[in-house]
Amino acid sequence: MVFSEIEKIVPGENRVLLKEKLGELNYDFLIIATGTRIAPEETPGLLGELWRRDIFDFYTVEGAVALAERLKSFNGGKLVVNITELPFKCPVAPLEFIFLADTYFKKRGIRDKVDLTLVTPLPGAFTKPIATKMLSGLMEKKNINIVPDFNIAEVDNQNKQILDYEGKGVDFDLLVTIPTNKGSDMIERSGMGDDLNFVPTDKHTLQAVGYENIFVLGDAANLPTSKAGSVAHFAADFLEENLISAIKGEPLKAKFDGHANCYIVTSYSKGTLIDFNYETEPLPGRYPYWIGPFGLLKDTRLNYFGKLFFKWMYWNLLLRGHHLPVTSHMSMCCKERPVSEKNK
């Protein structure tokens, strides 16, 4: 085992160059799992004078701790959650934050003094219409505003505004940003990435485009699905099978379907659940089987406990390599298609 940062990959020569002149590693097969990072420097003004004063991220330890302290002294005004652009890791996290902010301010007795607004480049609260309808309706009930189709161009620190490319502005007293996400700079140095440093990857075989002996797992890939832990977990099964096939010189038969699922905490006592893949959007129903016990696209207390139970499973089962009693392929079992969809 070698602990070192990587200077770059030389894919044409099957070499990985290490930093600090620690030499190089040769490989026959390579798995890239370099993840993603926030890049607030990509948005003009985001790292201005208000950074970590009235503008915060929560995808870093430093940002989350600073935001928690600022919320304690926030006694009213416009709290804006802004998604800068797609893709970004854990896509439901901004929704969970604004739902929990609603509950937090209710608990403090000042919810009527706080204007909560989600500003997003999406046409609604989520990427797909059925889930968007459910989540947007829940936000409306909670008096949370949504500003859709907003592509941020800059942050005006002096006037405390975010501005889009058409000059439309949204005022804030406290801004919670989901900054641009980028892949590792090492991928750029290696000449293997797209414009955001994510590795072009076959969405089914998980093989790096143009490199038969390189596979990509998790957020490092430019897959057309969520950058979420469940995606990496499900994809790993297919990558393992295809890697073994590649080593044996056999065709890659395992086909990842983009399966993702995620609990969404909607308050201190309720939550919802989504399950989807490349072809099928989140649908209502039950999960994982006919008996449930969890409701898909339903806001329930049992789903909240499901989220807490998953936390236990993560630390005690997943990290120890145990298999979960759910399929890596998305199952249509117990899902309810709308009548309009059934008739297509």
Residue 343 has pLDDT above 70, yes or no: no
Q: For residues 284-305, give the mean pLDDT.
A: 91
| Tokens, residue 104 | 């937090």
| Tokens, residue 137 | 């309706």
Q: pTM surpassing 0.75? A: yes
Which tens digit of pLDDT belongs to each residue from 58-72? 999 999 999 999 999
Residue 11 has pLDDT above 60, yes or no: yes
Residue 344 has pLDDT above 60, yes or no: no
Residue 341 has pLDDT above 70, yes or no: no
The three-state DSSP-derived secondary structure of the chain is CCCCCEEEEEHHHCEEEECCCCCEEECCCEEECCCCEECHHHCCCCCCCCECCCEECCCCHHHHHHHHHHHHHCCCEEEEEEECCCCCECCCHHHHHHHHHHHHHHHHCCHHHEEEEEECCCCCCCCCHHHHHHHHHHHHHCCCEEECCCCEEEEECCCCEEEECCCCEEECCEEEEECCEECCHHHHHCCCCCCCCCECECCCCCEECCCCCEEECHHHECCCCCECHHHHHHHHHHHHHHHHHHHHCCCCCCCCCCCEEEEEECCCCCEEEEEECCCCCCCCEEEEECCEEEEECCCEHHHHHHHHHHHHHHHHCHHHCCCCCCCCCCCCCCECCCHHHHCC
Which tens digit of pLDDT belongs to each residue from 227-277? 999 999 999 999 999 999 999 999 999 999 999 999 999 999 999 999 999
Domains located in the chain, CATH noted? 25-36+182-256 (3.50.50.60), 44-179 (3.50.50.60), 261-277+284-342 (no CATH)
Q: For residues 74-96, give the mean pLDDT.
A: 96
- Work out the number of other CB atoms within 10 angstroms of the CB of residue 253: 10
Residue 310 has pLDDT above 70, yes or no: yes
**Could you give the maximum distance between any two Cα atoms of the chain, in Å?**
64
pLDDT score recorded for residue 151:
97
Q: What is the pLDDT confidence band of residue 326, given thresholds at 50, 70 and 90?
A: confident
